[in-house]
């Protein structure tokens, strides 16, 4: 299959065959040139580059449509390394930004089956940012993306509405960040999907923040999010009865919920989750079962620096594997996810407890006996030098 290239200095009159002297200028035009394939990665690939000297913003004023022409299996990927003429230069990293501020269409990106979108920073969409017209226009994957002020002024609009599948494979939204958006992720209809290792903060919606329908939500964090329209508006929700559906290893902190913070259904599992300093119209934390049966806590998750929106968890957190002796929230999931998304020019900290390495990013184990901060100072105390995590120098070199 073919690979096409998009750069800030390209032209849509080019062939798009080379990143440096024969690239396209717009993403929408590049998508229109692709051919379909079969399954994830089976179609053509589009690589979108930043500028040679810094940020690159692609102002896409019309819908980027994978549905037009049915572009099955296409991959749209942001390349975050800087580049210069005829030279591959990987010394610096700059994000590729898609700005939909002037796009008033219902769909900013109209999806189709087995399309992958990876590594972008997206801003300014007025309605649905990534969606599809039909409930069977998927599955899709959205990975390692940052969404900033998306879905306009309508609190009922979605940033990502993942379509259902035409077969057994379901949509996956993983390692994505949602800042000041409405309704970050929901399943189209009642189709199952996976929402994994995502962060939403300062998001306000009339509906649920993360809604996987018959699917799963795991390793996700919601901070300062509001869901307020009614008792069916939740922070984490898998509302449709299915035994394989669950919510695990998630944190809700400083959120407001008109419905439940964690909403499941009959035969579903809500396990190893933390609810801390939240507000309700009524005390609706976990549904349908009691948190004591599910190994959930209402303890401080111990974010790195909450006031600065640094939502990494400390190794002393009950959400890490070493915070509290015994079986507590996420004690079986040792990990600290630092997702360096292609949408950012720095390491953005997600938190929670991912147990499988992301495509990009770094892990620091929180298990006993491992150095958590190798040759460096964690926090403001010099006693935390050379991997000391606790308050005692006897815990040097990462020994808990």
pLDDT in tens, 256-274: 988 889 888 766 788 888 8
- In angstroms, what is the C-alpha Rg of the chain? 21
Mean pLDDT of the chain: 75
Check whether 76 has a pLDDT greater than 60.
yes
pLDDT tens-digit series, residues 133-185? 888 899 999 998 889 988 766 767 889 999 887 777 889 999 888 999 988 99
Q: What is the DSSP letter of 347?
A: P
Q: Contact, 78 vs 37, CB < 8 A?
A: no
Tell me the C-alpha distance between 169 and 174, whole Å: 15
Structure pTM? 0.82
Q: Reply yes or no on whether the pLDDT at 359 is more than 60.
A: no
- More confident site: 228 or 151: 228
Q: pLDDT-based confidence at 386, cuts 50/70/90? A: very low
Pairing assessment for the beta strands 171-174 and 140-143 based on DSSP bridges: parallel
Q: What is the pLDDT of residues 278-314, one digit of tens each?
A: 887 667 788 876 655 677 888 888 887 788 887 777 7
Which residue ranges form the domains of the chain, and what is each CATH number? 3-344 (2.160.20)
Task: Report residue 69 as tokens.
Answer: 């022409």
**Residue 126 pLDDT > 50:** yes
What gap in Å lies between CA 100 and CA 58, rounded to an integer? 9
Residue 258 φ then ψ, to 5°: -75, -35
Range in 111-120, 129-138, 144-153, 194-203 with the lowest mean pLDDT: 144-153
Mean pLDDT confidence for 194-198 = 89
According to the model, what pLDDT value does residue 352 have? Answer: 40
pLDDT of residue 294: 76
Per-residue model confidence as pLDDT tens digits over 318-354: 776 543 333 333 332 222 233 333 333 233 334 343 3
Identify the residue whose tokens are 């991912």: 354
Tell me 202's DSSP state.
S
Whether pLDDT at 82 is above 50 = no
Q: What is the share, in percent, of the chain residues with pLDDT greater than 90?
A: 32
Can you tell me the distance from the alpha carbon of 351 to that of 315, in angstroms, rounded to the nearest whole number? 11
Residue 381 pLDDT exceeds 70? no
- Of the candidates 170, 151, 168, 169, which has an alpha carbon nearest to the alpha carbon of residue 160? 151
Grade residue 53 by pLDDT with cuts at 50, 70 and 90. low
Query: Residue 184, by phi and psi: left (phi above 0), alpha (psi -120 to 50) or beta?
Result: alpha
pLDDT at 254 over 60: yes
| DSSP per residue, 94-127 | --EEEE-TT--SSEEEE--TTEEEES-EEE--SS
């Amino acid at each position: 299959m073919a690979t096409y290239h998009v750069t800030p200095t390209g032209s849509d009159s080019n062939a798009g065959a080379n990143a440096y002297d024969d690239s396209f200028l717009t993403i929408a035009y590049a998508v229109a040139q692709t051919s379909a394939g079969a399954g994830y990665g089976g179609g053509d690939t589009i690589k979108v580059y930043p500028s040679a000297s810094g940020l690159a913003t692609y102002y896409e004023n019309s819908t980027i449509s994978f549905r037009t022409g049915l572009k099955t299996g296409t991959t749209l990927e942001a390349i975050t390394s800087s580049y210069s003429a005829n030279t591959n230069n990987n010394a610096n990293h700059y994000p590729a930004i898609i700005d939909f501020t002037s796009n008033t269409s219902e769909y900013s990106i109209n999806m189709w089956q087995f399309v992958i979108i990876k590594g972008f920073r997206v801003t300014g969409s007025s309605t649905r940012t990534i969606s599809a017209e039909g409930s069977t226009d998927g599955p899709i994957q959205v990975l390692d993306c940052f969404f900033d002020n998306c879905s306009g002024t309508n609190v009922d609009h979605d940033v990502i509405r993942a379509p259902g599948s035409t077969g057994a494979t379901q949509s996956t939204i993983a390692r994505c960040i949602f800042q000041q958006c409405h309704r970050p992720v929901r399943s189209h209809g009642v189709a199952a999907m996976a929402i994994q290792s995502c962060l939403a903060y300062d998001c306000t919606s009339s509906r649920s923040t993360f809604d996987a329908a018959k699917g799963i939500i795991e390793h996700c964090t919601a901070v300062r999010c509001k869901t307020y329209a009614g008792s069916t508006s939740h922070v984490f929700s898998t509302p449709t009865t299915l035994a394989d559906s669950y919510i695990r290893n998630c944190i809700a902190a400083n959120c407001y919920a008109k419905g439940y913070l964690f909403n499941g259904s009959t035969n579903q599992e809500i396990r190893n989750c933390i609810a801390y300093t939240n507000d309700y119209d009524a005390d609706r934390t976990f549904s349908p079962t009691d948190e004591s049966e599910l190994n959930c806590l209402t303890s401080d998750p111990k974010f790195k620096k909450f006031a600065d929106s640094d939502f990494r968890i400390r190794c002393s957190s009950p959400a890490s594997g070493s915070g509290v002796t015994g079986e507590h929230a996420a004690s079986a999931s040792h990990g600290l996810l630092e997702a360096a998304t292609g949408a950012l020019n720095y390491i953005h900290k997600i938190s929670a407890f991912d147990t499988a390495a992301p495509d990009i990013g770094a892990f620091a184990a929180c298990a006993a006996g491992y150095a958590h901060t190798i040759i460096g100072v964690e926090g403001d105390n010099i006693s935390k030098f050379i991997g000391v995590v606790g308050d005692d120098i006897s815990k040097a070199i990462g020994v808990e």
